[in-house]
Structure 1
């Protein structure tokens, strides 16, 4: 093991560099003062970041994505927590089917989901509705929340909850004061993963958005088909920054190590 240590370190360093290199290049290109995607650059400039905030379509799409991701992640929590409690604690007919049903969006390509939802909304006459767009994102992100909730519940010591019930606490009181705080890292981690996946979702959203509900990834795709300039790099850098800040806040509040250990 010690002889292979340097080799393993070099290998993992190369893999990490390979994964991070595109993100680093995008962030560097975002600060170029040139009119084209160029690296190395002659200097650093905030020109394209100012252009993003001055572009009304991008600002509107950004807030659409924020509201969409927030609502989708929150409603996914409302679905995943009761489902996780039922699946992890009770045995009933259809339990395995219920678990597979909730997790099935993970194995269905988003392109297929997008076409299916487009056809469904056309039949229902609901094309272009923001509420239906939220519903599609809930379906896509709920599996991420459910997996973390199940992981948190599987390692939960129920003695404190049983003691509370013995002392007269009702089911809701025991859940609110005992169970929920103990599985909070899993819930919060699931919410964050759901938010990020909803905020970055493109493939399915292309089929179910309307001119009034265009999300930021869809707006970026539409803009990239018309023009190639560093504005796309600036928007991508802002999205990377939002994700990094969210992960940092989660780590400071609950600790990513606790969430990741619970997921395993």
Structure 2
């Protein structure tokens, strides 16, 4: 076992480096002083990071994505909590069909969903509306929140709730004082996954965004199709850094193991 230890460690290290290699290359290219996509052999430069912050379209698109992801993740989580409680705690006709309906956006290609929403918004005259864009994102990202909350409910010990009811607590009191605190790691993890998927959504957003509501992934796609320079690498590096900082903060506050598993 001791002889296999260093070999196994080296093998796992190579796998991690292979997986992270594209991200490492992108981050290095972001610091190049050249005008083309190249590694910074001649020294490091922050010129492309400064260019990002001086590009008004990228700044506006970032705030559009952040606002959209915040509203979409919050609404989808608020809908996922009662839906998960109904599916898990109650037995009624059509429960499995309802669960399949809520999770169906996971298996439907986002290209199909985007075209369908484009036709719908054109028919009702809602093209360019931020509110309808939020509704479209809610439908797509709600399954991510629902799955984690369902997992948290399935792994929850019901003895505390039963004891509270035995002592005369009402349903709302049981939910507010016992069920919700026990579900909080699952709810937080579901909200986080919903936020990330909404912020990163590209395929569907291409069809339903308007010039005033262009999100950051759509803006990056539009820019990359017209120009080839390290600015895209700088934007990607900033997003990687923002994601890393967010994960560190959540790990310190809740613990990523509890968020992802959904257990308190």
What is the alpha-carbon distance in structure 1 between the residues aligned to residue 115 and residue 7 of structure 2? 46
User: Cα offset for 1:124?
Assistant: 1.2
> Hey, what does 1:190 align to over in structure 2?
190
The match for 2:139 is: 139
Cα distance change, pair 260–2 in 1 and its aligned pair in 2 (3 A): farther
- Following TM superposition, by how much is the alpha carbon of 1:41 offset from its aligned partner in structure 2, in angstroms? 2.8
Residues 145 and 190 in structure 2, CA contact (< 8 A), matched pair in contact too: yes
Taking the aligned partners of 2:83 and 2:225, their CA distance within structure 1 comes to: 41
Query: Does the CA contact (< 8 Å) of 2:64 and 2:215 recur in 1?
Result: yes
Q: Could you say what secondary structure the match of 1:143 adopts?
A: helix
Where does the alignment leave 5 or more consecutive residues of structure 1 unmatched? none
The residue that corresponds to 1:44 in the other structure is 44
Q: Which sits farther off after the overlay, 121-130 or 251-260? A: 251-260
**Secondary structure at the counterpart of residue 156 of structure 1:** coil
Aligned to 2:217: 217
Q: Which residue of 2 aligns with 1:227?
A: 227
**Secondary structure class of the residue paired with 1:183:** helix
Q: Secondary structure at the match of 2:39?
A: coil
Map of 2:123 onto structure 1: 123
- C-alpha displacement at 1:210, in angstroms? 0.4
| Whole-angstrom CA distance in 2 between matches of 1:10 and 1:120 | 53
Equivalent residues of 1:72, 1:135 under 8 A apart: yes
Q: Is residue 19 from structure 1 mapped to residue 11 from structure 2 by the alignment?
A: no
Aligned length in residues: 263
Q: Is the 8 A contact 2:183 2:262 kept in 1?
A: no
**Greater displacement, 119-128 / 72-81:** 119-128
User: Does residue 243 of the first structure (1) align with residue 240 of the second (2)?
Assistant: no
Q: Offset at 1:184?
A: 0.7
Contact 2:189 2:262 in 1 (8 A): no
Q: Alpha-carbon deviations, 1:153-186, whole Å to 9, x = none?
A: 1111111122222223221221111111111111
Aligned counterparts of 1:5 and 1:118: Cα–Cα separation in 2: 55
Show the counterpart of 2:166. Answer: 166
User: Could you report, residue by residue, the CA deviation over 1:11-60 in whole angstroms, capped at 9, with x for unpaired residues?
Assistant: 43333222211111111111111111111431112111111111111111
Contact 1:48 1:231 in 2 (8 A): yes
Alignment of 1:110 onto 2:110: yes
Distance in 2, matches of 1:115 and 1:2, equals 57
List aligned pairs for 1:141-160, cutoff 5 A.
141-160=141-160
Pairing 1:196-215 to 2, within 5 Å after superposition:
196-215=196-215
**Distance (whole Å) between structure 2 residues aligned to residue 170 and residue 92 of structure 1:** 22
Q: How far off is 1:251 after superposition?
A: 1.2
Rounded to whole Å, the distance in 1 between the matches of 2:23 and 2:170 is 50
Normalising by structure 2, we get a TM-score of 0.94
With structure 1 as the length reference, what TM-score do the two structures score? 0.94
Distance, in Å, in 1 between the alignment partners of 2:158 and 2:173 is: 14
Q: 1:11 to 1:91 in 2, by over 3 A?
A: farther
Aligned-pair RMSD on alpha carbons? 1.7
